[in-house]
Amino acid sequence: MFNVGDKIVYPMHGAGVIDSIEEKEVLGEKRQYYILKMPGEVKVMVPTANAENMGVRSIIDKNGAKKVLSILEKDETQMSDNWNKRYRDNLEKMKTGDVYEVADVVRNLTFKQKEKGTLSTGEKKMLDNAKVILVSELALAENSSNDEIEQLVENKIDMSYKEYRVPNEAKIDLKQSAVNKFIPFDGTTNV
């Protein structure tokens, strides 16, 4: 059971605060509902009796926040090359409501976006949603603004990408590739 003022996470929606607990009649049935104030000034009603079954949980503490940030600093986990399978796998991670799984999705899709320059519309929407969920929970856990946390998340992922991806790209011998591209192999010259 949660109380008014508790900071909670509602999977697929993000973190928020229990604004009130009210009795409402919905479809002819009276029930107690948590009235959740979510990111973007959205209010959501969740039946108190089903909240935990729906994945509602308390937000992580400061140690949990540190663990999330350490996930963002790691290399991406294995993902399918097939965008459809990758999307389904990431959606399953998102549905768990586990912040560590959401952090994995954010990092992995951001890496993919940096490598390809773009994502499919579905994956782009998923990345945006995952960032909102991740940032909202970290902001509440760290008593910080969403903007500050969003910048922190992007910085951690950028550093990770540079550490794990850029060195591999830099290993290309640019001098050799330029020679192969511009000097004919038959010994003739093009002037």
Residues 60 and 103 sit within 8 Å (Cβ to Cβ) = no
Question: Do residue 162 and residue 68 come from a single domain?
Answer: yes
Per-residue confidence (pLDDT) for residue 155, from 0 to 100: 97
- Give the β-pairing of 57-58 and 42-47: unpaired
> Residue type at 84?
N
Q: Residue 79 has what DSSP assignment? A: -
Strand partners, 30: 25
Sign of CA pseudo-dihedral 15, 16, 21, 24: negative
**Residue 171: per-residue pLDDT:** 42
Is residue 165 in a domain? yes
* pLDDT tens by residue, 30-85: 999 999 999 878 899 999 999 999 999 999 999 999 999 999 999 999 999 888 99
Task: Give the single-character DSSP code of 76.
Answer: P
CB 123 within 8 A of CB 83: yes
**Is the same domain home to 126 and 85?**
yes
- In a domain, residue 178? The reply is no
Residue at 105 is within a domain? yes
**In-domain check, residue 97:** yes
Range of the domain at 14: 7-23+31-58
pTM, to two decimals: 0.83
pLDDT of the residue at 184: 46
Do 96 and 54 belong together in one domain?
no
Count how many domains the chain has: 2
CA distance 11 to 174: 46
Do residue 72 and residue 126 come from a single domain?
A: yes
Q: Say if residue 72 is in the same domain as residue 159.
A: yes
Same domain, yes or no: 159 and 71: yes
**Model confidence at 177: pLDDT above 70:** no
Please report, for the domain that includes residue 39, its CATH number.
Answer: 2.40.10.170
Q: Where residue 87 sits, what CATH number does that domain have?
A: 1.20.58.1290
Helix (H) / strand (E) containing 182? helix 174-182
pLDDT in tens, 153-174: 999 999 999 999 886 545 454 4
Please indicate, yes or no, whether residues 50 and 66 belong to a single structural domain of this protein.
no
